[in-house]
Chains A and B, each alone.
Chain A
């Protein structure tokens, strides 16, 4: 493997528990984070709901992933972007989220995406 570091962005677009996509997406992020690449995550649309505080999946009998979101920082996944328009449309603010995020305007998000070597929709 060369020295080159690739920029890989995972884009979470779906709400947290209706499908397995965000959950398995997060599993993929954590594995990739171990490979010393530049990993980022972008939350857009209903994907923002994955970040909400105080999710309780007990009654769904589904293993939640809030704790896993918390370890992203330990894996050096610190570029967590949230789309401002999606946030406003859903009446959310960064205080509603369980991890620290960077809010980007849609054009800034587009710019971030354009900088990536690889974008993986989750």
Chain B
């Protein structure tokens, strides 16, 4: 099955970023395709390279970059990003900023759009 992910919460503050990541890993391990993770609302904070969490905790931003290495597109909504100071200069590796039209295309194309957040 082909999945798209919509993540609506920032890292650490909310479990959604962890659950979304675990879902993507589990789906891929089962042979499913995850086309993209689209970040909306505070979800855009998942791709700032200014984050430096404690060494003994998971690095959520880095995890998304690693998923990017495996071919999952990591996309941050431009409108939500601009509001929150997420711009190309601070973007983490493998992430890119794009528009809601791309999310619409993903929603149309995938078998399931999974939404993570409250």
- Which of A4, A28, A32 is in CB contact (< 8 Å) with B40? A28
Is B100 in contact with A32, judged by CB distance below 8 angstroms?
A: yes
Q: Interface size on A (CB < 8 Å)?
A: 18
- Alpha-carbon distance A28/B77, docked complex (angstroms): 10
Is B115 in contact with A32, judged by CB distance below 8 angstroms?
A: no
Q: Interface size on B (CB < 8 Å)?
A: 18
- Alpha-carbon distance A31/B115, docked complex (angstroms): 18
Main secondary structure of the interface of A (DSSP, over half): mixed
Main secondary structure of the interface of B (DSSP, over half): helix
Residue of B nearest to A31 (CB): B100
- Which of B80, B101, B105, B117 is in CB contact (< 8 Å) with A121? B117
CB-defined contacts of B105 to chain A, threshold 8 Å:
1, 35
- Alpha-carbon distance A122/B52, docked complex (angstroms): 29
Chain A proximity of B105: nearest CB distance (Å): 7
Among listed A19-27, A40-48, A76-84, A89-97, interface-contacting one: A19-27
Q: Given the interface contacts A31-B99, A120-B6, A120-B115, does A20 sit within 8 Å of B41 by beta carbon?
A: yes
Query: Could you give, for residues 91-118 of chain B, a 1 whenever the CB lies within 8 Å of some chain A CB and a 0 otherwise?
Result: 0000000011101110111000101010
Is A24 in contact with B104, judged by CB distance below 8 angstroms?
A: no
- Which of A1, A24, A34, A120 is in CB contact (< 8 Å) with B113? A120
Please give the residue numbers on chain A whose beta carbons come within 8 Å of chain B beta carbons, in ascending order. 1, 4, 6, 8, 20-21, 24, 27-28, 31-32, 34-35, 37, 118-121
